[in-house]
Amino acid sequence: MNKRIVITGLGAVTSIGVGWQDFWQAILSGKSGISEIDAFDTKDHVTHYGGQAKNFDPKAFIDPKKIKLMSRASQLGVSATKLALTDAKLHTPDPARTALIMGTTGGEVQEIEEMDAVWVKHGHEKVDKWSILQYPVANITANIAREFKLKGKTLIFTTACAAGNYAIGYGYDLITLGKADTVICGGADAFSYLEFTGFNQVGAVAPQVCRPFDKNRQGMIPAEGSGVLILETLESALKRGVTIYAEILGYGLSCDASHMTNPDSEGVAYCMADALAKAHLKPEQVDYISAHGTGTIHNDRAESAAINKVFNQRKVPVSSIKSMLGHTMGAASALEAIACALTVKLDTIAPTMNFQTPDPECDVDCVPNKPRKQTVNVVLNNGFAFGGNNCCVAIKKYSE
């Protein structure tokens, strides 16, 4: 129970870069991954921009013969996992003692959309059998496990936009309790017509630009991607002589039990306070908060109120990388955890881009428009989701 759990591998596939190095450099330069959507026709939608990973080629990571057996989310997840394992120098992970824990919102939603369209138009007998096999969300973890010959515990969380953090927290528990030696954890979601349409219908999508914490923010930008982290004990990492990016101290959970889509500041505050308590931290020890920061009116207002409550109005730097890569749904908090690990490793805080006008209801230091160099020892990574599912992970700079 006293094991120290560290992050030794990072894998990112996003609209702003593939591989953590390109991903991080894009963040520091304020690069936008938002472009006109070409994955499907948006003529009947109010908005037409999204964060597609147009620079991602699955053939760079997966045997072309296997690619046709995987849908988009699995391709993203397998590729990010390969990047993370390579980064951690885990070329042959122990099959039985390596757990695989992922998060998602839609699973193989692109394949499901096509299957449902065929079913509605032509009847279920015309549905391709292969498409049916893609329906369970656990298909993502099944494909990753198959690709890397993993036989340990496998699980996928479907707690929507907080799912990546849930996967990291559960992975932390598995190692702490001795149920796994290594954990591959993170999230993956493909760009989706269903999700894009749904968010458009509720008026939650910005026309072109995501402006978290800005008074004139108009909403989020749907996106796709995958973020994967490798967790192991400090003892294992030191024995293998690999890079240690950061240490995980614990995580907090809460459920708003309030509104289906609008976050509740009390639930969000409880989640962050729970993370601090589990990690044995005081609020004054936190140097940075990676915000959920979607750019919607309700989310940013509730998150700001919660932060000010937990930190007693202390202006902790708070930023949202969704301003650049968009909202990658189940992958979001996993990709943000990668950014947090690099923040404490490199003492640089990511900016919130596109910020123009302060909002009195979002009274936080949002690190506007350019990165900030400063010593960062402890960060909180916020992940909140529809249904009031909240998870906050505490991450610390590694020191002997």
Which residues form the catalytic set? 161, 292, 327
CB 331 within 8 A of CB 164: yes
Contact 110, 74 (CB under 8 A): no
- Expressed in angstroms, the distance from the first to the final Cα of the chain is 18
Q: Are 32 and 251 in contact (CB under 8 A)?
A: no
CA-to-CA separations, 95 to 81, 98, 150, 162, 233, in angstroms, rounded: 15, 6, 4, 27, 17
What span, in angstroms and rounded, lies between the C-alpha atoms of 140 and 161? 16
Question: Which residues are registered as beta bridge partners of 220?
Answer: 205
What's the CA gap between 381 and 281, in Å, rounded?
14
CA 225 to chain centre: 8
Choose among 346, 94, 77, 348: nearest CA to 225. 77
Query: Closest by alpha carbon to 338, among 248, 252, 231, 229?
Result: 229
